[in-house]
């Protein structure tokens, strides 16, 4: 890939792709007269090759080209560069194509010949946006590097350290994207065992991350449900670490269980799913969306000898649907959470709803039954496009013994169209009732040492 263009360099470079030679040359002259460098391609394949050779600030391409149309070219560009502006041209405009183009991330959609006089102004806006996004990215990289330099010598909390005068730190349990989790004892309450999740020092200087960390405590306290991990305390002090104190759980994540148990039975999947749905029903009832439901955030524990009791973890990217603060903290178009389980509308950066959590649970059930995620791709952007455009391999093609009825429930939960999914967590749980009239396993032979919620932690396990 060519190096980045200096930000103070005037003009910019336009890649112009159109199979109509006369029109392409005329548009090229128009843009050169406005001070832009222009490289031309007569096919989509030529355009992709030129992106490896030229410092391109904006792409202008015709939708209808032989071999590779403009929409396909746009998808390929998005897989390479999420921020490169692409202006699409068409001689046969229609609303459906325009909507689709915007959904794929087109900067603008112009018709030929009526809108061609606006092309120069459109390119000018696109170049300005490209430069602005480059400035933002460089500032963010600089700020992150500065923060990392400031905390470079800040190591993990030592075993035996006393946090907030009450919590005696024990062994390390896991490390996630936002924090490190330790086993601890609360000395002012007879040594009560707890889990302490400490915000990574490199994130403490970022006010958005600190607010998100605090909000996790507020959100979980607001819900108070048996299938959601309990938050006991939140610690924030100028002279100490920022911490969440949670109940200490004994067991393993669903991701770990899938890894060593292989494909689950229909009954086990349904038993786990209805508990997750109960937690989601409680959360949605107080206008909270989880937004990062995945096997790593579903913890399986034993209570009174009953295995696979669910504790839903990590509300760090949850959304309060009626909160003005939330709208500032996670603005429209910013994608949070784990891509493999994102609903298509969320992958497009659109607004989220409770339906997105049900979609994610459908993906989790698919994986528990088949051992495979429904979508896989070579990189982040390719995965987002697969979620929006491709259909996963049917469950019954991967496991013929799965009933058509359960497969249909999963397919409905994973519908591309949010309106075709279940209307609520309660409705989806009701659909799963035929698979939950069984006796859950008791006195499991698997034993796991204590662990605690963290988005990427995998518990250390021993077998009896």
105: left (phi over 0), alpha (psi -120 to 50) or beta: left
Cα gap 26→406, rounded to integer Å: 58
Angle at 84 between CA 80 and CA 87, to 5 degrees: 120
CB 197 within 8 A of CB 220: no
59 forms beta bridges with 15, 86
CB 309 within 8 A of CB 250: no
DSSP code, position 311: E
CB 321 within 8 A of CB 289: yes
How far is the CA of 207 from the CAs of 42, 113, 213, 422, in angstroms? 48, 49, 10, 37
Q: How many C-alpha atoms does 334 have within 13 Å on its Cβ side?
A: 9
Cα gap 376→72, rounded to integer Å: 19
DSSP code, position 54: S
Q: Is 292 a catalytic residue?
A: yes
How far is the CA of 387 from the CAs of 297, 311, 320, 404, in angstroms? 20, 27, 25, 23
Structure tokens at 206: 């970022």
CB burial of 289-324 (b: ≥16 within 10 Å; e: otherwise) equals bbbbbbbbbbbbbbeeeebbbbbbbbbbbbbbbeee
Cα 414 from chain centre: 16
Q: Which of 18, 292, 314, 357 is catalytic?
A: 292
Cα gap 43→30, rounded to integer Å: 20
Burial class for 410, CB neighbours closer than 10 Å (0-12, 13-18, 19+): buried
Max alpha carbon distance in the chain (Å)? 84
Q: In what order do the strands lie in the sheet with 108-111?
A: 37-41, 13-17, 58-62, 86-90, 108-111
The catalytic residue positions are 292
């Amino acid at each position: 890939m060519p190096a980045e263009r200096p930000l103070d360099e005037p003009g910019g470079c336009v890649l112009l792709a159109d199979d109509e030679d006369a029109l392409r040359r005329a548009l090229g002259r128009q843009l050169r007269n406005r001070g832009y460098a222009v490289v031309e391609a007569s096919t989509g394949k030529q355009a992709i090759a030129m992106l490896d050779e030229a410092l391109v600030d904006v792409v202008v391409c015709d939708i209808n080209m032989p071999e590779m149309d403009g929409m396909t070219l746009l998808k390929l560009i998005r897989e390479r560069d999420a921020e490169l502006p692409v202006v699409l041209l068409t001689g046969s405009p229609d609303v459906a194509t325009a909507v689709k183009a915007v959904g794929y991330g087109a900067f603008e959609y112009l018709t030929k010949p009526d809108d061609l006089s606006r092309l120069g102004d459109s390119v000018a806006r696109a170049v300005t946006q490209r430069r602005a996004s480059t400035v933002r990215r460089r500032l963010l990289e600089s700020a992150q590097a500065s923060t990392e330099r400031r905390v470079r010598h800040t190591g993990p909390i030592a075993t035996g350290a006393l946090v907030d005068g009450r919590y005696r730190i024990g062994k390390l349990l896991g490390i996630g994207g936002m924090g490190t989790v330790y086993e601890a004892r609360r000395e002012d309450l007879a040594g009560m065992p707890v889990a302490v999740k400490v915000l990574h020092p490199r994130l403490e200087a970022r006010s958005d991350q600190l607010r998100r960390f605090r909000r996790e405590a507020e959100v979980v306290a607001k819900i108070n449900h048996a299938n959601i991990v309990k938050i006991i305390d939140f610690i924030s002090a100028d002279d100490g670490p920022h911490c969440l104190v949670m109940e200490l759980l004994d067991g393993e994540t669903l991701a770990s269980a899938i890894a060593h148990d292989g494909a689950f039975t229909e009954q086990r999947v349904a038993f786990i799913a209805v508990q997750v749905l109960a937690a989601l029903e409680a959360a949605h009832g107080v206008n909270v969306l989880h937004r990062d439901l995945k096997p790593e955030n579903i913890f399986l524990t034993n209570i009174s000898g009953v295995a696979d009791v669910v504790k839903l973890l990590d509300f760090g990217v949850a959304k309060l649907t009626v909160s003005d603060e939330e709208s500032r903290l996670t603005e429209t178009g910013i994608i949070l959470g784990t891509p493999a389980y994102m609903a298509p509308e969320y992958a497009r950066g659109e607004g989220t709803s409770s339906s997105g959590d049900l979609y994610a649970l459908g993906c989790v059930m698919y994986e528990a039954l088949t051992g495979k995620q429904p979508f896989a791709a070579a990189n982040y952007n390719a995965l987002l496009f697969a979620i929006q455009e491709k259909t996963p391999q049917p469950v019954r093609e991967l496991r013929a013994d799965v009933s058509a009825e359960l497969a249909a429930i999963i397919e409905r939960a994973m519908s591309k169209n949010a309106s075709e999914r279940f209307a609520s967590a309660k409705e989806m749980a009701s659909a799963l009732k035929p698979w939950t009239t069984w006796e859950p396993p008791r006195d499991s032979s698997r034993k796991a040492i204590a662990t605690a919620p963290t988005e990427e932690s995998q518990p250390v396990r021993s077998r009896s």
